[in-house]
Chains A and B, each alone.
Chain A
Amino acid sequence: MKTGTLKQVLLITDGCSNQGEDPIAMAALAKEQGITINVIGVMEEDVIDDQGLKEIDGIAMAGGGVSQIVYAQQLSQTVQMVTRKAMTQTLQGVVNRELKQILGGTGTMEDLPPEKRGEIMEVVEELGETVQLEVLVLVDTSASMKHKLPTVKEALLDLSLSLNARSGDNRFSVFAFPGKREEVEKLLDWTPRLESLSSVFSKLAVGGITPTGPAIREAISYFEKKRSLRSLLSRDDESFFEESV
């Protein structure tokens, strides 16, 4: 079975953006280009600020992804869960579009009686196991995140362990924001393994501002460059399912 590529941004942050474009609009922009934005909000114990929560939910919703608030200690497990859920959700979306063409209606699995859902789910899971996946990790390195960065690093190594257990190929890249000169800084170029991450994290300078919106915009352009090469081969999100079955 030939499969297309799933493109995901995994944004790890602890709160509110305070500079540049509206991150929710930027997430919507990503979605328009077939890129899913997932957000993990890393919180201090019992400190939940409503503004931050709203933004986190908003970005994921607009970006067609999944969001999860978590305490730093539970980050590893959450990162893998969110990525997995988002994959399922995206693949589900693709399958649903097919269903809509075949069956009409709103085109969601929930239109079907429960008995009929099982087989569709099996297809979704099979795709999730085999599809090629590109995860761009976008880490907020503003001052408040500083002491959480070692945990973030652990969680990302752990994520590569989870995803590399699949039979499909994975490619990861890691960006931090704010960058030294630009809005985002590339820490790690596309690679199938995240192990090399250990060294880059220690060199990170942490900054004061949190330009989440610009960071998302930059990140998707990074997919774009890669995509434009590929789109020569006419591979875009809509045609995904035809290719994959």
Chain B
Amino acid sequence: MMMNHSLKSLCNLAQGTAIRGKWHGQHYTVIKQLGYGANGVVYLVRTADGQAALKMSDNASSVTSEVNVLKSFTKVQGSALGPSLLDVDDWEQGGGQTSFYVMEFIKGPDLLSFIQQKGHDWLGVLILQLLSDLEGIHRNGWVFGDLKPENLIVTGPPPRVRCIDVGGTTLKGRAIKEFTEFFDRGYWGMGSRKADETYDLFAVAMVMINTAYPKRFAKKGGGTDQLMPLVRQSELAKYAVVIEGALTGRYQSASEMRSSILQVLQPARKKRAAADSKRAATRTARGAASQQKKSGGFGETLLIIAVISMLYFFYIYVQIL
């Protein structure tokens, strides 16, 4: 998308430009531009307490709206749902006034670059982290909305994914404020643009798909008919069930999708863990009877082996005949 004229002039701030807030009087010095989008420009700035990211926009409403979201995120914080908010102010220059806010600088490559550098093994872990954050955002009454790799930065070490750009973050039940086609279930003809948990989870699935198809692709028919074959013939094949689930709205919550991914990544351990906890439960419930239970389990195993061997012998027998 092309920028408006007013935004364009904000885009070319030279290194060393001094920005002073009109209301709070804080000073910021531009180090470099971090990026820009439809809503504004983000600069890396030097502050009295080190580096920070400063987002300015020719549209004061969008600044205020994003600040509202970040404030509501900080209220519940502890864990970081988005970049923490440091300051909100206006900058008077050249007769005009520009609204801006200052937030924590989240340093690191975006999700796609990180995976390209470190390998596809990282995908699962990062998506698990992302789903934890989304769970928090949803619990808080919000839907993130504009979820895409550019808005996911991997900081660290140790690597940890963080969401930036709350421009699309919408109260549950309302119409999604901002989205990017490739990640939008409406675009793929797979649901509405009403903000709910499943909207974000759809986008998570598309983020996963984007890692296997970095150039993305256009809609040709849409739906699972177009998307799932692409998943199955890529390195994402092992996630096929999870991705299909998220695309079709089967997961009601981020944590549900999260445990599904865990199951893909560690099926064996998962089963053992389940068995362990079952055994532990039995132990606490029946106390000493657990010993007996254990030998009972052994008996079962013997029985199964016996049945399988019989079937096997029967099979061989039939084959020989």
Binding site for B on A (CB under 8 A): 43, 57, 67-71, 74, 76-78, 81, 84-85, 88-89, 92, 109-110, 113-115, 117-118, 120-122, 124-125, 129, 158, 161-167
Asked if B23 lies at the interface with its beta carbon under 8 angstroms from chain A, I say: yes
Mostly, the A contact residues are helix
Q: A129-B175, A165-B194 are in contact. List 15 more A-B contacts (CB 8 A).
A: A43-B2, A68-B2, A70-B2, A78-B1, A84-B177, A92-B61, A110-B97, A114-B88, A117-B60, A117-B64, A121-B61, A162-B175, A165-B174, A165-B186, A165-B192
21 contacts between A and B (CB under 8 A): A67-B4, A68-B1, A70-B1, A71-B2, A76-B187, A77-B181, A81-B38, A113-B23, A114-B89, A114-B99, A117-B67, A121-B61, A121-B65, A121-B68, A122-B68, A124-B61, A129-B175, A162-B186, A162-B193, A165-B186, A167-B174
- In the complex, A221→B99 CA distance in Å? 38
Which B residues lie within 8 Å of A113 (CB)?
A: 23
Return the chain B residue nearest A119 by Cβ.
B68
Q: How far is the CB of B89 from chain A (nearest CB, A)?
A: 6
Contacts of A122 in B (CB 8 A): 68
The chain A residue sitting closest to B100, CB to CB, is A114
A110→B60 contact, CB < 8 A: yes
B197 within 8 A of A: no
Q: How far is the CB of B173 from chain A (nearest CB, A)?
A: 8
The smallest C-beta distance from B175 to any residue of chain A, in angstroms, reads 4
Give chain B residues whose Cβ lies under 8 Å from the Cβ of A114.
23, 64, 67, 88-90, 99
User: In the complex, which of the residues B89, B174, B178 contacts A129, with contact meaning CB atoms closer than 8 Å?
Assistant: B174
With a cutoff of 8 Å between Cβ atoms, the chain B residues found around residue A117 in the complex are 60, 64, 67
A50 CA to B300 CA, complexed, in Å:
82
For A166, the chain B residues whose CB sits under 8 A away are 174-175
Other-chain contact of A85, B59, B60, B176, B195 (Cβ < 8 Å)? B59
**Which of the residues A71, A85, A118 comes within 8 Å of B71, measured between beta carbons?**
A118
Distance of A78 Cα from B187 Cα, bound (Å): 13
Contacts of B99 in A (CB 8 A): 110, 114
Q: What is the CA–CA distance of A67 and B186 in the complex, to the nearest angstrom?
A: 24
Given contacts A118-B67, A158-B187, contact A109 B180 (CB under 8 A): no
Distance of A57 Cα from B4 Cα, bound (Å):
9
Within the complex, the shortest CB–CB distance from B141 to chain A, in Å, comes to 13
Q: How far is the CA of A165 from the CA of B194 in the complex (A)?
A: 5
Which residues of B lie under 8 Å from residue A167 when comparing CB positions?
Answer: 173-174
* B1 CB contacts on chain A under 8 angstroms: 68, 70, 74, 77-78
A42 to B166, CA, bound (A): 28
Q: Give B70-114 as 1s and 0s: 1 = Cβ < 8 Å from A's Cβ atoms.
A: 010000000000000000111000000101000000000000000
Residues of chain A with a CB closer than 8 A to B187's CB: 76, 158
> How far, in whole Å, are A235 and B64 apart by their CA atoms in the complex?
30
Q: Which residues of A contact B177 (CB under 8 A)?
A: 84
Contact A118 B68 (CB under 8 A): yes
Give Cα A227–Cα B173 distance, bound, in whole angstroms.
Answer: 31
**B159-188 Cβ-contact flags toward A at 8 Å (1 or 0):** 000000000000001111111110000110
Residues of B within 8 A of A118 (CB): 64, 67-68, 71
Q: Bits for B1-27, please: 1 = Cβ < 8 Å to A, else 0.
A: 110110000000000000000010000
Give the one of B59, B61, B187 with max A CB within 10 A: B61
Residue from A43, A70, A89, A115 whose CB has the most chain B CB atoms within 10 Å: A115
Min Cβ gap B180→A in Å is 7
Taking a contact as CB atoms under 8 Å apart, the answer to whether A77 and B180 are in contact is yes
The interface residues of chain A lying within 8 Å CB-to-CB of B175 are 129, 162-163, 165-166
By a CB distance below 8 angstroms, the chain B residues around A85 are: 59
Beta-carbon contact of B4 and A68 below 8 Å: yes
Contact with A along B42-80 (1 / 0, CB 8 A): 000000000000000001110011011001000000000
Task: Please pick, from A69, A115, A125, A165, the residue contacting B2 in the complex, using a CB distance under 8 A.
Answer: A69
Contact B64 A121 (CB under 8 A): yes
A88 touches B67 (CB 8 A): no
Quick one: which of B180-227 are within 8 Å of A by CB?
Answer: 180-181, 186-187, 192-195
How many whole Å from A51's CB to the nearest CB in chain B? 15
Task: Give Cα A167 to B194, complex, Å.
Answer: 9
Chain B residue at smallest Cβ distance from A69 = B2
Partner of B192, one of A77, A115, A161: A161
Of all chain A residues, which has the CB nearest B174? A129
> Residues of A contacting B174 with CB < 8 Å?
125, 129, 165-167
Closest to B193 in A: A165
